[in-house]
Structure 1
């Protein structure tokens, strides 16, 4: 492959690809080449590659004309900043040794890079038991579980999302020990597969799922998972080690009080009540009785709030229970526009929020006495 790379790119498409690839680049590293993106022009396509040692991403940039095949290794931040600030519809990029030149109408930038040979080799997995799911389904499942994962926790296995495939069903599970989100959908093929995917990897993957009709092929081997997104690129990630908690034991089976709400209406009431909470009084009280839910809050030296929400079809005795409002709003946001069933047992037991068989959210109560 010739050393000199020459390409003409649609600026908007390149900006989007650079932003996505740069999300993989580590913010701190003792290995300078990892702060770079590898650009590979071959077979009429331009590919961007990024890695942090645990995640590897290869993207195909649309709207590119490859005038001369070659490779370049360019600092991600500078390349991204330059292309974003260009106002042209197209930009030209070419390399000479380790110098990359970016040209627009009336502007020229030279960026000092590195030898492409110094970049880590592309990670590949031989996934023997791959299956497919639509981008629309996978995006929905990630959105409904990723928010509930632990940011930092000594139990490393809950720093990721459990991805469990059984036959033609796929289920994702996220938890931080105080709440649990389970989302299910359909996939193709037969067989079983279990993965614990790091949260960072899923945050990047979800940005690759813009076309709802594209297919995503998921495979696993040697402690790695591969996500090949049709028409976009491939993400390879190391998996989280350890055993995911036995989450099915956490989902209550004996709830005897239930009612259904519009998710957006319930979220709006909780947001209003949460306006009068503080660090000392984080909880919001939910009082279910008859045909009315009263959502209330009280914070010393701040004030009180009481929001009344009509309800119909309530089953069970009256109950008052406290929840942290942010935890409930997080769940209602990802099912906005749908009906959500709320199930309870007692003020000391977890509450359950459900959307059919596709979404189950379990959240621990808080003391609001």
Structure 2
């Protein structure tokens, strides 16, 4: 399968949130300029190295891509178009944090083809935002939302977190009401994961981070599912909800275990059965790329069995599951010949549903998904 998707990592943030283990840094405008110098050279190298079709999806993630000023934003978008052709109807998504956009910057993005924004809202409760180390407040969400609509963006995702320290079911319900009232075309909703190397991890180990009990977190997840489905959103993936026609096409590339190119510090790509990882350290990334070298520090050829496992584990995140036809087309073998025993076991447990088209999680399976995924690694 020829690659037609690109991920671009922009690692800069105004500050580091307490729960965040992503590759992100607080930096200066001068470093950002030099980063763009390196990114330009890497885009050129990646475009030349991989046989690719005109891009169908592009995703600028971070960090916070909207940390760039308007001129830097224009430069970023122009270099994308200089090195890659876009297909008709390409989806170009840009992550943003509330408070980091203005009308000029949004117009620049729109004029250069960006047609989908993703705001890291997380909560509408100001006290919870402070606990997360977020710099924005509820008012900043509304202001950024209004600017995005004014700039002409008709496809906006809002990120929502639950299972937060001090969060109650009532607080989550208020956030759900506020978010649904805004009416974004897409919502990504995740439970908090305490990751090693973050302040939350340290505080949790010291007993200083009090999280909702597991039973309450499960109730929160059910509340999220029910709330968005009642409001007309389709739950098309285990953590994602969309209005008709607004599924994230780029993320579906990941969930269908399809190839994608990736550029930027710490970016992960997957092309021709090889997974690669870029240099995370920003100064080293810049030094390598401005010299015209690719900043890849790790490569792994993904063996056939692991590719098959990835197709199942990633694909079962989708509510449509994994079809027998798609599995056979990707891997040249029948799914049941490879994973028949595992599928039968979890079908009997009521966690997987099987019909003539394929395999998917049941409602009960959605809540025990990690247990199901792990079984495909046995």
Tell me the TM-score normalised to structure 1 length.
0.21
Relative contact order higher in (CA < 8 Å, ≥ 6 apart)? 2
Of the two, which has the highest radius of gyration?
1
Higher helix share: 2
